[in-house]
């Protein structure tokens, strides 16, 4: 009985050690952190994400903010921003900011008469998830921009490369609307559930082929797969402007 108890204790210790290797301990954030530079305008969301892996001192923050650029007929117009920071000591240093460094957001500009500003836009952080491999998170954001008609919706999965640069692991585009939700797969991993109107090749914006369609976006063996294929997927890049 003592031998069995000893062997059981050894097995439990081995499993605990393996688990700690698979999911390294996350470091607590230092007190009184600062952001350099501060996010523009008013902060709307601020999310902690381990986009470079769940190792010590690898915290990143994704921040959405907005700044009012004008008003017309009591309607405010905003420039939205997505700022991604990496921790360095007790300071979060800016590594990527949209639209300054590129998509998913565009720079807002006023109309020729100076009364309106386009595009009207918004962005939200859906969350963070290990969509591609264990212990490394990706950041999921959803944005929408309207210049005419119902506009364009975009869901972007952002990651980081070995050089520490932020880039799109995959982006998904749809006319009018596209919502995203992080879900669990039967194997215990994570995937994206995408919902929006589906338009076939001949459908007009007024009349979607399917008013509310749902697809699942998964990653395996270096490939992103959408099932069913309702929305336009751009692996490893943003949609062309």
167-186 tens-digit pLDDT = 999 999 999 999 999 999 98
| Parallel, antiparallel or unpaired: strands 232-235 and 223-227 | unpaired
In a domain? residue 189: yes
Cα(33)–Cα(125) distance, integer angstroms? 21
**pLDDT range class, residue 28, cuts 50, 70, 90:** low
Residue 239 preceded by cis peptide, ω within 30 = no
Q: What is the pLDDT of residue 221?
A: 93
- Residue 29 in this model has a pLDDT that exceeds 90: no
In a domain? residue 4: no
In a domain? residue 69: yes
Which structural domain range is residue 184 located in? 32-235
In a domain? residue 123: yes
In a domain? residue 145: yes
Q: What is the pLDDT of residue 104?
A: 98
In a domain? residue 100: yes
Torsion from C-alpha of 28, 63, 123, 160, nearest 10 degrees: -70
Cα(61)–Cα(76) distance, integer angstroms? 28
Q: What is the pLDDT of residue 26?
A: 52
Query: Strand, coil or helix: what is 101?
Result: coil
Q: Please state which of the ranges 1-5, 115-119, 155-159, 228-232 shows the lowest mean pLDDT.
A: 1-5
In a domain? residue 21: no
pTM: 0.86
| Share above pLDDT 90 across residues of the chain, in percent, rounded to a whole number | 72
Q: What is the pLDDT of residue 127?
A: 97
Residue 119 preceded by cis peptide, ω within 30 = yes
In a domain? residue 11: no
Domains: count for the chain: 1
| Share above pLDDT 70 across residues of the chain, in percent, rounded to a whole number | 86
Both structure tokens of 241: 């402007």
167 burial level (CB within 10 Å; 0-12, 13-18, 19+): middle
Q: What is the pLDDT of residue 24?
A: 43
Alpha carbon of residue 32 to chain centroid: 26
For the segment 97-125, the average pLDDT, to the nearest whole number, is 93
Radius of gyration of the chain measured on its C-alpha atoms: 21
- Residue 215 in this model has a pLDDT that exceeds 60: yes
């Amino acid at each position: 009985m003592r031998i069995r108890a000893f062997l059981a204790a050894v097995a439990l210790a081995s499993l605990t050690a393996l688990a700690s290797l698979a999911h390294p301990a996350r470091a607590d954030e230092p007190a009184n952190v600062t952001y350099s530079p501060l996010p523009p305008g008013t902060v709307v969301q601020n999310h902690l994400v381990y986009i470079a892996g769940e190792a010590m001192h690898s915290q990143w923050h994704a921040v959405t903010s907005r700044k009012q650029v004008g008003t017309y007929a009591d309607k405010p117009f905003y420039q939205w921003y997505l700022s991604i920071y990496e921790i360095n000591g007790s300071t979060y240093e800016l590594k990527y900011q949209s639209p300054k460094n590129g998509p998913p957001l565009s720079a807002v500009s006023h109309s020729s008469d100076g009364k309106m500003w386009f595009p009207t836009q918004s962005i939200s952080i859906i969350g963070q998830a290990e969509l591609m491999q264990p212990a490394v998170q990706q950041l999921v954001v959803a944005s929408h921009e309207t210049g005419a008609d119902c506009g364009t919706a975009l869901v972007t999965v952002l990651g980081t490369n070995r050089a520490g640069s932020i880039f799109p692991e995959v982006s998904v585009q749809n006319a009018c609307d596209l919502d995203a939700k992080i879900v669990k797969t039967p194997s215990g991993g994570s995937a994206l559930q995408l919902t929006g109107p589906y338009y076939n090749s001949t459908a007009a914006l007024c009349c979607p082929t399917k008013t509310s369609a749902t697809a699942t976006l998964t990653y395996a063996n270096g490939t992103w797969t959408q099932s069913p294929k309702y929305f336009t997927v751009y692996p490893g890049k943003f949609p062309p402007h």
